[in-house]
Structure 1
Amino acid sequence: MVDDKVLRKLSQNLLEILEDNEYYDIIIEVETFQVILRYIYGGVVSLDEYDAPDVIKILVSANELNLQELIMILQSFLIENKSEWIELNFNDVYQMCFENDSFLELRRYCNDLVSKVPDKIFKSLNLSSTSEKVFISLIQNDDLQMSEIQVWEYVLKWGLAQNPELPLNRKDFSENDFNTLKNSLQQFIPSINFYNLSSEEFSKKVVPYRRVLPGELYDELVVHICNNPTKKSEPGARINSKRINSVIITFQHAELILKWINNLGTFSYVFSKFIYGDTTIINNNKFKLLLRGSRDGFTPEKFHEICDDQTHTVTIIKVKDSNEILGGYNPIGWKSNISYGATKDSFIFSFKDNKNIENHILSRVKFGLTAIYSSKDTGPSFSGVDLTLRNNNIGSCSKRSYENQIRETTEEFIVEEYEVFQIVKD
Structure 2
Amino acid sequence: MEFFEGLSKDFNSLLKESDDYDVIIYADKDSNVQKFHAHTVILRARSRYFRRALSRDWAKKENGVFVFKKPNITAQVFEVVLKYIYGGTADLQEQSGNVILSLLTASDELNLGELIKYTQEHLIHQKLSWLQENLVQVLHTVSCLEDCKTLREFCLEMICQDPRFLFRSENFCTLDESVLVLLLQRDDLQIDEIEVWENVIKWGLAQDPPLDSDLSRWTDDDFKTMQSRLSRCISLIRYFQISPADFCDRVRPYAKILPEDLHEDILRFHLKSSQQVRSVILPARIQGIDSNIIKPRHAALIACWIDRKEGNSSTCERIRYEFKLLLRGSRDGFTAAAFHNRCDNQVPTLILMKIQNTGEIIGGYNPTSWRRTSMNSDSGYFQSTPWGHHQRKSALSFARYSQYELGPFQTTSESFIFSLGDGKKVEDFVLSRITRENMCSAVYSSPRLGPCFGRGDLKMTDHFNAPGKCSCEWRDYEREITDSEVFAVEEYEVFHITDRGSLSSSVLSDESHELSEDKTPIMTSSNHTLASTSSAQPSVPSMQNRTPDFTTYHTGW
TM-score normalised over the length of structure 2: 0.40
Residue of 72, 86, 95 corresponding to 2:117:
72
Q: For the Cα contact (< 8 Å) 1:59–1:74, is it kept in 2?
A: yes
Report whether the alignment pairs 1:160 with 2:193.
no
**Residue equivalent to 2:224:** 179
Report whether the alignment pairs 1:18 with 2:63.
no
Structure with max Cα Rg: 2
Deviations 1:350-406 (A, max 9, x none): xxxxxxxxxxxxxxxxxxxxxxxxxxxxxxxxxxxxxxxxxxxxxxxxxxxxxxxxx
Residue of 183, 187, 190 corresponding to 1:145:
190
Residue of 109, 114, 120 corresponding to 2:159:
114
1:110 positional shift: 0.5
1:216 positional shift: 1.6
Q: For the Cα contact (< 8 Å) 2:173–2:202, is it kept in 1?
A: no
**Residue equivalent to 2:98:** 53
**Residue equivalent to 1:205:** 250
Distance 1:228 1:198, change over 3 A: farther
Distance 1:2 1:62, change over 3 A: farther
Between Structure 1 and Structure 2, how many residues are aligned?
Answer: 244
Task: Quote the Cα distance in structure 2 between the aligned partners of 1:29 and 1:163.
Answer: 30
Report whether the alignment pairs 1:242 with 2:267.
no
1:105 positional shift: 1.5
SS of structure 1 residue aligned to 2:94: coil
1:101 positional shift: 0.8
**Residue equivalent to 1:223:** 268
1:17 positional shift: 3.3
1:133 maps to amino acid: S
Residue of 4, 12, 23 corresponding to 1:2:
4
Deviations 1:178-216 (A, max 9, x none): 111111112212111211211111111111111111112
Q: For the Cα contact (< 8 Å) 1:127–1:157, is it kept in 2?
A: no
TM-score normalised over the length of structure 1: 0.51
**Residue equivalent to 2:297:** none
**Residue equivalent to 1:365:** none
1:127 positional shift: 3.9
Task: Quote the Cα distance in structure 1 between the aligned partners of 2:265 and 2:58.
Answer: 54
Structure 2: runs of 5+ lacking an equivalent = 12-41, 60-67, 275-279, 285-312, 317-423, 429-557
Task: Quote the Cα distance in structure 2 between the aligned partners of 1:165 and 1:191.
Answer: 23
**Residue equivalent to 1:297:** none
1:119 maps to amino acid: R
2:70 maps to amino acid: I
**Residue equivalent to 1:189:** 234
**Residue equivalent to 1:134:** 179
1:3 positional shift: 7.8
**Equivalence map 1:409-424=2 (5 Å):** none
Q: For the Cα contact (< 8 Å) 2:43–2:85, is it kept in 1?
A: yes
Distance 1:77 1:159, change over 3 A: same
Distance 1:41 1:13, change over 3 A: closer
Structure with greater helix percent: 1
Task: Quote the Cα distance in structure 2 between the aligned partners of 1:214 and 1:284.
Answer: 22
Deviations 1:82-101 (A, max 9, x none): 11111111001011111111
Q: For the Cα contact (< 8 Å) 1:90–1:125, is it kept in 2?
A: no
Q: For the Cα contact (< 8 Å) 1:71–1:103, is it kept in 2?
A: yes
Task: Quote the Cα distance in structure 1 between the aligned partners of 2:234 and 2:262.
Answer: 10
Distance 1:101 1:109, change over 3 A: same
Q: For the Cα contact (< 8 Å) 2:166–2:172, is it kept in 1?
A: no
1:50 maps to amino acid: Q
1:163 positional shift: 4.3
Q: For the Cα contact (< 8 Å) 1:98–1:107, is it kept in 2?
A: yes
1:177 positional shift: 0.9
Distance 1:166 1:22, change over 3 A: farther
Task: Quote the Cα distance in structure 2 between the aligned partners of 1:42 and 1:283.
Answer: 52
1:11 positional shift: 6.6
SS of structure 1 residue aligned to 2:121: helix
Deviations 1:282-325 (A, max 9, x none): 9479xxxxxxxxxxxxxxxxxxxx99x99xxxxxxxxxxxxxxx
Give the superposed CA RMSD.
Answer: 3.6
**Equivalence map 1:271-420=2 (5 Å):** 283=314
Distance 1:155 1:284, change over 3 A: closer
1:222 maps to amino acid: L
Q: For the Cα contact (< 8 Å) 1:195–1:221, is it kept in 2?
A: yes
Q: For the Cα contact (< 8 Å) 1:75–1:106, is it kept in 2?
A: yes
Q: For the Cα contact (< 8 Å) 1:38–1:44, is it kept in 2?
A: yes
Distance 1:112 1:227, change over 3 A: same
Distance 1:29 1:131, change over 3 A: closer
